[in-house]
């Protein structure tokens, strides 16, 4: 294995562990609007990691043509990758909806709505991932010879138009929605802080709580936006360069773009689930069970010692 494959293996291993752990935690939680979308996010990112890693098993780096298996691996990598972006966008939209209607946050009709949003995200992603199979573009062997992907060296006008539209609807539009959602949420929290500050004073407990909430929200929003840009901007840049110029995309740039997109499946669970203290709650539960089991074993051992005829 070369350095790229070793790094990819580490990223995939962390991604699968993080997302399966998140799925386990979410399964233990009461189902609400937020967890519905988070479950979809974990599934999409697990699939992205698994299918993105498959070509390392069967692809020969001396190959000159994309095999059917390679093209299918590319499709099943692109599909959950687009789904992850769509679901992140849906999470951003849901945040605005729940802030607008907080008293209906766990209402039954809203749960149905969020189930539909999750399904719509998968259908939306399937549509974009299927277009290359329908002839609008194609899945082909990358210049790295290590995977198949969307054709980043288009010759036909239709392929260039497809890349432009894809970058707009899979990168720029979701980024805009996430930005607007973060700014709107920060504004709502700031207005609440301002209200409590003007009404009860800056030393009030609620005022301090909202100030802390505002600082935490701003930092988490900056991290969310920067993570999305860092993970997906390389592929968006490649798409725009391929569509508007005749420059040959450097192999190193393609390798970096692929690794950064895989990295999103590791980073997203940490960002989105740490906000809900998901992993912390799991750690507390594990420690509690371990201490409970330890006490149970100690009690059983004490009973055995007490009831042992040799001790009488």
Say if residue 252's pLDDT is above 50: yes
Kindly report which listed range (126-130, 235-239, 245-249) carries the lowest average pLDDT score: 245-249
Closest CA to 270 of 45, 49, 106: 45
Say if residue 21's pLDDT is above 60: yes
Higher pLDDT, 144 or 45: 45
User: Rounded distance, CA 255 to CA 121, Å?
Assistant: 27
Kindly report which listed range (111-125, 164-178, 226-240, 289-303) carries the lowest average pLDDT score: 289-303
pLDDT value, residue 58 = 67
3-state secondary structure 162-175: HHHHHHHHHHHHHH
Closest CA to 273 of 1, 88, 75, 71: 88
Say if residue 248's pLDDT is above 60: yes
**What number is the average pLDDT over the span 75-81?**
92
User: Rounded distance, CA 61 to CA 70, Å?
Assistant: 12
Task: Provide CB contacts within 8 A for 98, sequence distance 6+.
Answer: 33, 34, 105
Say if residue 123's pLDDT is above 90: yes
Say if residue 46's pLDDT is above 90: no
**What number is the average pLDDT over the span 272-293?**
47
User: Rounded distance, CA 48 to CA 203, Å?
Assistant: 48
User: Rounded distance, CA 204 to CA 184, Å?
Assistant: 25
Q: CB atoms < 10 A from the CB of 114, how many?
A: 24
- The tokens describing 195, both together, are 């209200």
Closest CA to 76 of 50, 56, 42, 58: 50
In order of their start, the domains of the chain are 3-276 (1.20.1070.10)
Confirm if 51 and 73 have CB atoms less than 8 A apart.
yes
Estimate to the nearest angstrom the gap between the alpha carbon of 93 and the chain centroid: 15
**What number is the average pLDDT over the span 143-151?**
83
Say if residue 187's pLDDT is above 60: yes
Say if residue 167's pLDDT is above 90: yes
Q: Treating both helix axes as pointing N-terminal to C-terminal, what angle do 205-244 and 157-167 enclose, rounded to 10 degrees?
A: 170
Say if residue 299's pLDDT is above 70: no
Task: Provide CB contacts within 8 A for 112, sequence distance 6+.
Answer: none
Say if residue 129's pLDDT is above 70: yes
State the DSSP code for 105.
T
User: Rounded distance, CA 237 to CA 60, Å?
Assistant: 27
Average pLDDT, the chain: 78
Kindly report which listed range (63-72, 96-105, 240-249) carries the lowest average pLDDT score: 96-105
User: Rounded distance, CA 201 to CA 190, Å?
Assistant: 15
Kindly report which listed range (37-51, 226-240, 265-279) carries the lowest average pLDDT score: 265-279
Say if residue 114's pLDDT is above 70: yes
Higher pLDDT, 233 or 116: 233
pLDDT bracket for residue 285 (50, 70, 90): very low
DSSP string, 22-72: HHHHHHHSPP-HHHHHHHHHHHHHHHHHHHHHTHHHH--TT--S--HHHHH
**What number is the average pLDDT over the span 229-253?**
89
Task: Provide CB contacts within 8 A for 43, sequence distance 6+.
Answer: 19, 23, 80
Say if residue 291's pLDDT is above 60: no
For tokens 């010692």, name the residue.
Answer: 305
pLDDT value, residue 173 = 95
Total length of the chain: 312
Confirm if 259 and 231 have CB atoms less than 8 A apart.
no
**Across 123-242, where does the E strand assignment appear?**
139-141, 148-150
């Amino acid at each position: 294995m070369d350095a790229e494959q070793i790094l990819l293996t580490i990223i995939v291993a962390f991604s699968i562990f993080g997302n399966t752990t998140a799925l386990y935690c979410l399964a233990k939680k009461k189902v609400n609007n937020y967890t519905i979308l988070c479950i979809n996010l974990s599934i999409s990112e697990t699939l992205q990691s698994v299918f993105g890693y498959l070509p390392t098993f069967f692809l020969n780096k001396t190959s000159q043509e994309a095999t059917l298996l390679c093209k299918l691996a590319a499709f099943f990598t692109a599909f959950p990758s687009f789904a992850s972006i769509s679901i992140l966008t849906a999470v951003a939209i849901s945040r605005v909806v729940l802030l607008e209607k907080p008293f209906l946050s766990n209402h039954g009709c809203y749960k149905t709505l969020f189930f539909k949003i999750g399904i719509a995200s998968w259908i939306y992603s399937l549509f974009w991932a299927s277009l290359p199979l329908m002839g609008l573009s194609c899945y082909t062997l990358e210049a790295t010879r290590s995977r198949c992907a969307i054709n980043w060296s288009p010759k036909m006008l239709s392929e260039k138009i497809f890349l432009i539209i894809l970058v707009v609807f899979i990168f720029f539009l979701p980024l805009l929605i996430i930005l607007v959602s973060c700014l709107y949420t920060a504004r709502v929290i700031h207005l609440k802080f301002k209200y409590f500050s003007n009404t009860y004073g800056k030393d009030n407990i609620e005022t301090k709580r909202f100030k802390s909430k505002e600082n935490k929200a701003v930092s988490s929003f900056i991290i969310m936006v920067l993570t999305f840009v860092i993970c997906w901007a390389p592929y968006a840049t490649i798409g725009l360069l391929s569509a508007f110029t005749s420059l040959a995309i450097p192999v190193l740039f393609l390798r970096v773009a692929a690794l950064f997109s895989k990295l999103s499946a590791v980073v997203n669970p940490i960002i989105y689930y740490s906000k809900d203290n998901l992993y912390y709650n799991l750690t507390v539960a594990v420690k509690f069970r371990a201490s409970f089991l330890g006490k149970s074993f100690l009690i059983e051992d004490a009973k055995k010692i007490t009831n042992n005829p040799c001790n009488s």
